[in-house]
Amino acid sequence: MNARTAPATAASRRSEARERLLDTAAGLFYAEGVQAVGVDRLIAEAGVTKATFYRHFPGKDELVLAYLGRRDRAVRERLAAAAAASPDPRATLAVLVAALADEVCGPGFRGCPFINAAAEYPDADHPVRQLVTAHRRWFRGALADLLAACGHPDPVGGAAALLLLRDGAMVAGYLDGTETRDRITATATALLGPLP
């Protein structure tokens, strides 16, 4: 019997259930908000038992952390892929700006999942807020590194301005829709100069 025909082990079944819970949470949390979605609904929609839920996540906050952690990894991977695709940091910035415009004008867009979660967890010491803060610190630093590689005169200030642009674009994309696309590119160009 090879790996393709071997029966699933208890560990792989748990892993599949965990991924189903995370997929369900990602869809519901993003569409409706973290606090609006209860554990019972998550369990029902993921098709798992309460015991399975609590085997993987001691509570809802741990599921929220896993959901945001997954989003954080996806952003980091996209940035790494963009940087690997071109040795030119300006090209990487251009890809980031274009991806932002595509994301905020895409169907089902409901704002930044990190900003949304932060709004629902007002305590800055809560682990969810700490994860959001760590994500933003990393992203700001990655932007500063790209700007420094471009020879920007103030990479830290430029990164803060780009993060502010991103935050505003996330809100504008949700509230104003597709008309936001051109504004994002124009504002990034005003901050950075023409991008490739």
Tell me the pLDDT tens digit for each residue of 90-109: 999 999 988 988 888 888 88
Instruction: Give the per-residue pLDDT at 196.
Output: 64
Q: Which value, to the nearest 10 degrees, does the dihedral of the CA atoms of residues 89, 93, 99, 100 take?
A: 150
| Helices 60-85, 39-46: crossing angle, 10 deg rounding | 60
Asked whether residue 41 carries a pLDDT value surpassing 80, the answer given is yes
Instruction: Please state the three-class secondary structure of the chain as a single string.
Output: CCCCCCCCCHHHHHHHHHHHHHHHHHHHHHHHCCCCCCHHHHHHHHCCCHHHHHHHCCCHHHHHHHHHHHHHHHHHHHHHHHHHHCCCHHHHHHHHHHHHHHHHCCCCCCCCHHHHHHHHCCCCCCHHHHHHHHHHHHHHHHHHHHHHHCCCCCHHHHHHHHHHHHHHHHHHHHHHHHHHHHHHHHHHHHHHCCCC
Rounded to an integer, what distance in angstroms lies between the CA atom of residue 83 and that of residue 79? 6
Which one, of 105, 109, 90, 113, lies nearest residue 162 by Cα?
90
- Alpha-carbon Rg for the chain in angstroms: 19
| Beta carbons within 8 Å of 194's beta carbon, 6+ residues apart | none
Instruction: Give the per-residue pLDDT at 143.
Output: 95
User: Quick check: 159 and 141 in contact, CB under 8 A?
Assistant: yes
> 167: which 2 tokens?
């935050």
Asked whether residue 24 carries a pLDDT value surpassing 90, the answer given is yes
- Summarised one tens digit per residue, pLDDT across range 152-177 is 999 999 999 999 999 999 888 888 87
Torsion sign (Cα): 37, 38, 44, 48:
positive
pLDDT class of 136 with cuts at 50, 70, 90: very high
